[in-house]
Amino acid sequence: MDAEVISAGILREVLEVGELNLHEIRSQIGSATAHLLHESLRVKNFASRVDILDDENAAALRKFCLTYYDIRALILDLALKLDMMRHLGHLPRYQQQIISLQVMKIYAPLAHAVGTNYISLELEDLSFQYLFPYSYLYVDTWLRSQETGGISLIDVYKDELLESLKSDPILAELVDDISVKGRYKSRYSTMKKLLKDGRRPEDVNDVLGLRVVLNPKSRENALEAGERACYRAHQIIQSMWKEIPSRTKDYISRPKGNGYRSLHMAVDVSEIGRTRPLMEIQIRTTEMDRLAVGGMASHSLYKAGLTNPEEVSVFFELFCIHSSS
């Protein structure tokens, strides 16, 4: 976000408590910041336009928001909503649930739609915690049980894999940088899997996930070297954990229709006497990763529930306008 959005974020609470008004902000800070503050206040109150927050009304509100509000004001309000959800404990229970329902049905999907996925995931988990505290505790307790000596499993596997990749001489000839990122499936996403498929927690396959990103050395055949590096990383992982062949998908040799390229695999990290969930691993080059992240818009829209073509087209039109400006 630019300086205007940051300024508006700092001034929003000052404006709301009446210490400054929009006229003073316009004259002392600038008209652009004042406009964003005005827009963000409109976004803040737009959920009150409906009496019943069912799926149909939530979809209509998302479409309205994407059509009529400055997308920067939307992102500002999402950040403020996240801050509010992190400090919701002092409110009465009924207010916690009202706010959490709005966030779950409207703001978390919007955060997905505009590409701020990390905000969306935390909004979902926080809303889930207040709406269904016992279900949240069940999932959270199980995920926390997947720790070793207070250290999360994902950190243990991430460090172990990074060390193995960096110590391989063949891979060292092909790349000049290696990164491994890890993530747990969110509490809310895990619960949705359990409810949808009737699974036990240990049967949810993508609870653990790693992403290997390889930066090939600058040379004429960097593209070929990057692909070779991905397959070499695949071989190294096969030597570390048991691969589940049915879960392997090679989108490098056979890219998806949208151009997405990556190597996907799942490995069994269970130990003797203790069953672990399967761990999913993605392997790609920095260029593949850049294109994958840049192309996340369609996936984000799907995850946000924006399946209506008209709603999707509104988002892309606004996104392009604001990106170009």
Q: What is the 3-state secondary structure (H, E, C) of 247-292?
A: HCEECCCCCCCCCCCCEEEEEECCECCECCCCEEEEEEEHHHHHHH
CA atoms lying within 13 Å on the CB side of residue 204: 25
Residues 143 and 290 in one domain: yes
Nearest CA-CA partner of 269 in 260, 280, 261, 259 = 280
Under DSSP, the state recorded for 25 is H
- Confidence grade of residue 51 (pLDDT, cut at 50, 70, 90): low
- Cα-based distances in Å from 317 to 107, 190, 289, 298, 321: 20, 33, 24, 13, 6
Comparing C-alpha atoms, which of 293, 188, 150, 166 is closest to residue 233?
A: 166
Give yes or no: residues 111 and 24 share one domain. yes
Q: Is residue 81 domain-shared with residue 102, that is, in the same domain?
A: yes
Question: Does residue 123 fall inside a structural domain?
Answer: yes
Interhelix angle 93-102/71-86, nearest 10 degrees: 150
Task: Decide if 238 is inside a domain.
Answer: yes
pLDDT tens figures, 257-282: 878 899 999 999 887 767 777 889 99
Structure tokens at 269: 């990290």
Q: What SS3 state is found at 147? A: strand
Same domain (yes/no): 174, 94: no
| Count of domains for the chain | 2
Rounded to whole angstroms, the Cα distance separating 287 from 32 reads 35
Would you place residue 168 in the very low, low, confident or very high pLDDT band (cuts 50, 70, 90)?
very high
Q: Which carries the bigger pLDDT value, residue 45 or residue 177?
A: 177
Last residue in a domain, options 131, 151, 182:
131
For residue 196, give its domain range: 138-298
Are 250 and 149 contained in the same domain?
yes
Q: Are residues 176 and 56 in the same domain?
A: no
- Burial of 174-199, coded b for 16+ CB within 10 Å and e otherwise, reads bbeebebebbbbbbbbbbebbeeeee
What is the pLDDT, as a whole number, of residue 312? 45
- Are 81 and 116 members of one domain? yes
Which of the listed residues 84, 107, 131 is the one where a domain comes to its end?
131
Asked if the model's pLDDT at residue 164 lies above 90, the reply is yes
> What's the pLDDT tens digit per position in 221-245?
888 999 999 999 999 999 999 999 9
Query: Which phi and psi (to 5°) does residue 286 adopt?
Result: -60, -35
Quick: pLDDT tens for 4-24. Answer: 889 999 999 889 888 889 999
Residues found in the chain? 325
Same domain, 110 and 152: no
Please tell me the distance from the alpha carbon of residue 13 to that of residue 239, in angstroms, as a whole number: 55
Portion of the chain with pLDDT greater than 90, in percent: 38
What is the pLDDT, as a whole number, of residue 301?
A: 45
Give the domain CATH number at 188: 3.30.460.10
DSSP string, 184-228: EPPHHHHHHHHHHH---GGG-TTSEEEEEEEEEPSSTTHHHHHHH
* Residue 136 identity (one-letter amino acid): Y
Is there a contact between 209 and 157 (Cβ–Cβ < 8 Å)? no
Residue 76 and residue 198 in one domain: no
Output DSSP code: residue 86: H
| Domain CATH code at residue 108 | 1.10.3210.10
Mean pLDDT value of segment 199-223: 82
Task: Judge whether 119 lies within some domain.
Answer: yes
For residue 231, being part of any structural domain is answered with yes
- The two three-digit tokens of residue 29, written as one number: 């800070």
Whether 30 and 46 map to the same domain: the answer is yes
Are residues 88 and 234 both part of a single domain? no
Tokens of 66: 């994407």
Inform me whether the pLDDT recorded for 290 exceeds 50.
Answer: yes
Q: Are residues 152 and 265 in the same domain?
A: yes
